[in-house]
Amino acid sequence: MLNYSLKRAGMAILTIWVVVTITFFLMHAIPGDPFTDQKKIPAEIMEKIKIKYGLDKPLIVQYGTYLKNLLKGDLGISMKYKNRSVNTILQEGFPVSAKVGMLAVALGGILGVVFGIIAGLNRGKFFDYFVIVIAVIGVSVPSFVFAALFQYAFGVKLKWFPVARWGTPAHYVMPVLALGLRQIAYIARMMRTSMLDVLGQDYIKTAKAKGLSRHQVTWKHTVRNAILPVVTILGVSIAGIVVGSFVIESIFAIPGIGKHYVQSITQQDYTLIMGTTVFYAIILVVMMFIVDIVYGLVDPRIRLE
């Protein structure tokens, strides 16, 4: 298990380095720079600004400097937010995005797995068709459509929850539902399909022939093997949603990472683009590393392969 973990950790570090390198050079390949629109600034002042941020140096030197600072945990100073470091911006936005994201993942993961198990065990019955309908709607309809419907129904008409802004537990409800419904649909559909596949395997028939109870067959043999694909989805979902859903955060005026990421791209804020991209990549790679380890714990055959 130690060798398996070390190999996955090495691949994770390599992946992060590749993401950093590609993002850095592609970002600088875009025409212009963060100060292109500031035409009124005198040339000598513009030169001093570029010296301050290291933009006057050759690109390969800038790349080496960035890697050196990254190893120290320093993501640099934003070129658009005056006197604010990227680390500070992420520290302020990430907790908000993480709270909304984790609640959405928890809602989607728990209900999705439960719905998928029940649907798989009751194939062709009412609840099975109900889950299929929910899955089709959840996958087909974008989360921002749900967000707009919730705002109109629960915020404007019924006035149960605040339409937007942030600050109280009531502000969590509609964003979490809008994000969670899609997760419920994906996970329920995959769990149902995986359950049906496992239920048709020979070892399930053998377990039943041995006289094991329905509860033992379901939880010890069926669910444990059927949940492996769901673990993969949960890992990616946690990484994606926790870092922030750009559209949902914009609709509900949530002060998370999403708005900073969008603004950094439109403003060509190099350091903030790199910081948010690297941060997202680290979260995603760490979650996939955890998924690999969980895979190895759930199914020892994966370690041998």
Buried b (16+ CB within 10 A) or exposed e, 74-111: ebbbbbbbeeebbbebbeebbebbbbbbebbbebbbeb
Average pLDDT over residues 257-276: 78
pLDDT tens column, 161-171? 888 777 788 88
When comparing pLDDT for 219 and 136, which is higher?
Answer: 136
Q: Give the per-residue pLDDT at 197.
A: 82
Q: Is the predicted pLDDT of residue 52 greater than 80, yes or no?
A: no
- The reported pLDDT for the residue numbered 84 is 79
Q: Give me the residues paired with residue 77 across strands.
A: 85
Average pLDDT over residues 12-29: 85
Per-residue pLDDT tens digits for 274-302: 888 888 888 878 877 777 777 666 665 55
What is the 8-class DSSP label of residue 141? Answer: S
**pTM (global) more than 0.95:** no
User: Above 60 in pLDDT, residue 38?
Assistant: no
CA 215, 220, 226, 230 dihedral sign is positive
Tell me the three state secondary structure of residue 6. Answer: helix
pLDDT at position 244: 53
How high is the pLDDT of residue 248?
81
Using an 8 Å Cβ cutoff, are 200 and 123 in contact?
Answer: no
Please compute the mean of the pLDDT values over residues 167-185 and round it to a whole number. 84
Q: What is the pLDDT of residue 295?
A: 66
Whole-number Å distance between alpha carbons of 174 and 164: 9
How confident is the prediction for the chain on average, in pLDDT?
A: 78
Its sign, for the CA torsion 104, 109, 110, 112, is positive
Lowest mean pLDDT among 56-65, 89-98, 238-247: 238-247
Is the confidence at residue 9, as pLDDT, over 60? yes
Q: Which residues contact 239 (CB under 8 A, 6 or more apart)?
A: 280, 283, 284, 286, 287, 288
Mean pLDDT of 160-182: 82
pLDDT at residue number 301: 56
Q: Is the pLDDT of residue 242 over 70?
A: no
d(CA 243, CA 148): 21
pLDDT for the residue 25: 86
Tell me the C-alpha distance between 170 and 110, whole Å. Answer: 21
Residue 222's CB is within 10 A of a number of other CB atoms, namely 23
Residue-wise pLDDT tens digits, 64-113: 888 888 888 888 887 777 777 888 888 888 888 888 888 888 888 888 88
199-203 mean pLDDT: 75
Helices 270-298 and 228-243: crossing angle in degrees, nearest 10, is 160
Nearest to 86 by CA among 228, 274, 285: 274
Distance CA(226)–CA(195), nearest Å, equals 5
Instruction: Report in angstroms the alpha-carbon separations of 120 from 106, 116, 128, 168.
Output: 21, 6, 7, 38
CA distance 13 to 234: 21
CA distance linking residue 240 with residue 246, whole number of Å: 10
State residue 303's pLDDT score: 53
Residue 218 is given by DSSP the state I
Two tokens, residue 159? 């006035």
What percent of the chain stands above pLDDT 90? 0
